[in-house]
Amino acid sequence: MTVNDNTREIEAGIVTDLRDRMTYGGYLELDRLLAAQHPVSVPEHHDELLFIIQHQTSELWMKLVLHEISHVRELLAADKLGEALKPLARVKHIQEVLTQQWSVLATLTPSEYAQFRGSLGNSSGFQSVQYRAIEFSLGNKNAKMLQVFEAEPESHAMLEAELARPTLYDEFLRLLARRGLPVPASILERDVTRAYTMHEELVPVIKEIYDDPSTHWDLYEACEELVDIEDNFQFWRFRHLRVVTRTIGMKIGTGGSSGVGFLQRALELTFFPELFAVRTEIGRA
Ligand code: HEM
Ligand SMILES: N[C@@H](CC(=O)c1ccccc1NC=O)C(=O)O
């Protein structure tokens, strides 16, 4: 019964005796999750908790991105393109959350950050193994990045495995070839431990899809999902760059890089070059 005291009645059916039952906190291991925020500044700076949580939530979403990209690659290898479109769309939405989230950290002023930046030592996002694995899985491979993880054998092994694995785009192009599209052999046989680079000969193959979407509808849809994913990746990089610029200006990074200049150069990278190059050709004779 709702009495007019603006209070919701707890229904009789609601389980309140939770001894020996699965609970919310138990299932989610919240005791461990919520005990993992340890500011290192002394005295503790109020805003360091924001900094930690922004990174930890990003790492949780990155874990899911990797999980989904792995799944998509397995589905593509099994010729299940239709099924792969759902997890691919999920990746895109996670990226949107990750990009939106920058606005929370942007409330950190340069003065506040300067008060605890010194406590971070040489730690840096550059050392994020999951971030590097996502970059690798999308085609931005670089064996030199493994050096950073030599002191962390598990991370090193994970990244080494990712380096050797065909990328999302490799799997997609292999599927195109199995579908009868004339994907050049030089691409299908490429050394997958190297960064993917532009292959001009692939552009007319992709153009076949864009010139006749109804014949290749699922391929067409997949190409556009990949373009969304590259766009979203660039939006994340750009937001990072802007937050870094407003927070530390032109200071060098804690990881030892030049800072803003180094991050700026990442904006020149591309995962799926032919999917962008084809746009110049569409509608041309
Ligand atoms: C005030 C906030 C931040 C500042 C000032 C900052 C600054 C920097 C700088 C200067 C670098 C270049 C490497 C270095 O020399 O340290 C870097 C790299 C990186 N940061 Fe941040 N960062 C911030 C927040 C974040 C957050 C919230 C994340 C999310 C996980 C993140 C992830 C990364 C990643 C993945 C890299 C490597 C990028 C690449 O290799 O292109 N950063 N950051
Ligand atoms: N590289 C940043 C420090 C930083 O942002 C950071 C430090 C520890 C863990 C993650 C970080 N995030 C991104 O680089 C800086 O130079 O201020």
| pLDDT at site 284 | 86
**What ipTM goes with this model?**
0.99
Nearest bound ligand to the CA of residue 240: 1
Per the listing, tokens 């924001």 go with 50
Closest-lying ligand 2 atom to the alpha carbon of residue 128: 10
Locate the DSSP E strands across 52-120.
none
> What does the alpha-carbon distance between residue 92 and residue 102 come to, in Å, rounded to a whole number?
16
Cβ 143 vs Cβ 193: under 8 Å: yes
> Which of 135, 148, 117 has the alpha carbon at shortest distance from 51?
117
128 lines ligand 1 (CB under 6 A): yes
Closest-lying ligand 2 atom to the alpha carbon of residue 117: 17
Q: Which domains does the chain have, with CATH numbers?
A: 68-115+124-281 (1.20.58.480)
- Return the H-helix or E-strand segment holding 163: helix 153-164
Locate the DSSP E strands across the chain.
none
| pLDDT at site 4 | 81
| pLDDT at site 154 | 98
pLDDT tens-digit series, residues 115-136: 999 999 999 999 999 999 999 9
CA 124 to chain centre: 17
Q: 125 CA to middle of ligand 1, Å?
A: 4
Give me the helix-helix angle, 217-248 and 81-100, nearest 10°.
Answer: 20
Which tokens is 21 given?
Answer: 């039952």
Residue with the smallest CA separation from ligand 1 atom 5 is 244
User: Which residues, given as ranges, of the chain have pLDDT below 70?
Assistant: 1-3, 285
| pLDDT at site 163 | 98
Residue with the smallest CA separation from ligand 1 atom 34 is 125
- The verdict on whether residue 113 carries a ligand-binding annotation is yes
Per the listing, tokens 């802007």 go with 242
